[in-house]
Structure formats: structure tokens, C-alpha cells
Amino acid sequence: MARKKLIAGNWKMNGLLADGTTLAKGIAEEVKKIGKPQCEFLVCPPFTLLSAVKKALRGAKVALGAQDCSSEDKGAHTGDVSPVMLKDCGCQYVILGHSERRADHKESSELVNKKAQAAHKHDLKTIICVGETLEEREAGKALEICTTQVIDSVPDTSTWQNTVIAYEPVWAIGTGKIPTTKDVEEIHAAIRKTLSKKLGKGNANKMRILYGGSVKPNNAKELLSLEDVDGALIGGASLKVEDFLGIAKNAGVC
């Protein structure tokens, strides 16, 4: 069975009610024009926009996701948002372990693992991010870092249906730099091999592995046609309707 490509937008900490709603409506309109897209579209706005974006996407084949969740269901955790709350808002997905959370909030792979278990318990699909820093790549440790992060961050509750992996080299995020296609192929293949050992061949072969880091309409075809690349996690370019849709169109996946 072929893996359905996933085109996912991570809006990060961008958007107020007015422009976030306009962006979501614009994406919804364009996706409706496609009719029955061959790929899956997903947008992950900030928590504050989830309900408004859900409304704006009505009738369009675009899934809704959040950018993080708590490992707890409810209670005394000021500022946190639980998987149950995300489900209640209409989310199907949650991004976990993004490098910005690993760096800004000192999130460990062990915490990401706990959060993913909590999300799975409530039927939320997880996009678990891994990736090396520039320092780690230059030290020849990229492969080791990414596979270790997969081993530690992906819980035993993961299956190909409820988990997506995103390989995002930290140095490629928001910089306009991308790895060579050979490097992307090497890491994606190593991630799949690691998943196979951890979750079995059946899960590993069907689980989607996205590439993320400066994906734009002009490099989408090259990146998304690689053997083990099953879609893209897109930051900056997901904030413009024409760029977000342009990535899927230029890559020929929708």
C-alpha cells in the first residue's frame, strides 16, 4: 500500500484572529478546487486560533492539528493544554518534539514520548519531530542523533495509523538552507530502519516520514520525490496560501 503524502503547515506563533481566519479560508477554498486531493492537507495554527480555523476549514479536506500538548489529561498544570482539550477543539493531529520546543522549553525525548502516549490515548495522531543541529551534523553525528531521538521519543503506543515522523534538520529550519538529497535519503532510510526494529516492519513500512526545513514551492518536487519522503512539514511557506498549495502542486502530490 502506497503511503499517502501529508502536506502539513506549522504556523508556529503566527496569526491573529483576522489573518489566521483569512489564511485558513484561503487554503480551504484552494483545496476545495482540487476536489479529491490525492494527498492529505493539515494545518497546525496556534492554540488561540484552533476553533476559528476549524470553522474556516468547514467542508474542505484539510485536517486540523496543534503544535504541542501536555502529557496530562487535566488538572493543576497552568498554561498547558491537554490532548483531551485538543480533541474537543476538533484536532486530529498534534506536533510533538519540534526542535523549537526542544530548545526553548528544554523538552527531552522522554517527555515527548510521554506526551505522545497521552495523545494516542485520546485518539490524536502525533507528528514526532527529530533532527540534528549544525554542530552535530558537522561532527558527523546526524544519523546517530536522529535515530536516538526516534528510539527515545516514539512510544510503544505508536502505529503507522497514529504516528508520523518529521525529519527536520535544525539548521535548515527557517534558514533557506536544505540538506543534499543524498543526506535526506540517508536519514529517512535510517529512521525507517529504526522504526522497523522498534515497531515492527509492518508499521515501519506504512509509517509516513516527512521532511521539514525550508521547503518551498521551488524545491518541493526534488524533496518530495525522494524514496522515503512521504510529505513535508512546512513552517514559513505555510503562511501563504499560494506557497502552501504551490508546494503540493509543484511536487505533483495533490
Q: Pick from 7, 10, 82, 243 the residue near ligand PEP by CB under 6 A.
A: 10
Check: CB of residue 122 under 8 Å from CB of residue 87.
Answer: yes
The amino acid at 34: I
Q: Give whichever of 46 and 193 is closer to ligand PEP, judged by the CB atom.
A: 46
Using rule CB under 6 A, residue 213 touches ligand PEP: yes
Q: Pick from 60, 70, 236, 250 the residue near ligand PEP by CB under 6 A.
A: 236
The single residue of 98, 107, 120, 132 carrying the catalytic annotation is: 98
Query: How far is the C-alpha of 154 from the C-alpha of 126, rounded, in Å?
Result: 10
The single residue of 40, 100, 136, 168 carrying the catalytic annotation is: 168
Query: How far is the C-alpha of 165 from the C-alpha of 192, rounded, in Å?
Result: 9
For every residue of 39-62, DSSP letters joined together read SEEEEE--GGGHHHHHHHTTTSSE
Among 104, 122, 124, 101, smallest CA distance to 10 is for 101
Indicate if 105 belongs to the active site.
Answer: no
The stretch among 103-111, 135-143, 191-199, 228-236 that binds ligand PEP (CB under 6 A) is 228-236
Query: How far is the C-alpha of 236 from the C-alpha of 89, rounded, in Å?
Result: 24
Indicate if 110 belongs to the active site.
Answer: no
The stretch among 119-127, 135-143, 210-218, 242-250 that binds ligand PEP (CB under 6 A) is 210-218
Using rule CB under 6 A, residue 214 touches ligand PEP: yes
Using rule CB under 6 A, residue 131 touches ligand PEP: no
The set of cell numbers assigned to 197 is 526494529
What φ, ψ does residue 239 adopt, rounded to 5°?
-95, 0
Using rule CB under 6 A, residue 112 touches ligand PEP: no
Q: Give whichever of 84 and 179 is closer to ligand PEP, judged by the CB atom.
A: 179
The set of cell numbers assigned to 69 is 500538548
Site residues (vs ligand PEP, CB under 6 A): 10, 168, 173-174, 212-215, 233-237
Would you name the residues annotated as active-site residues?
A: 98, 168
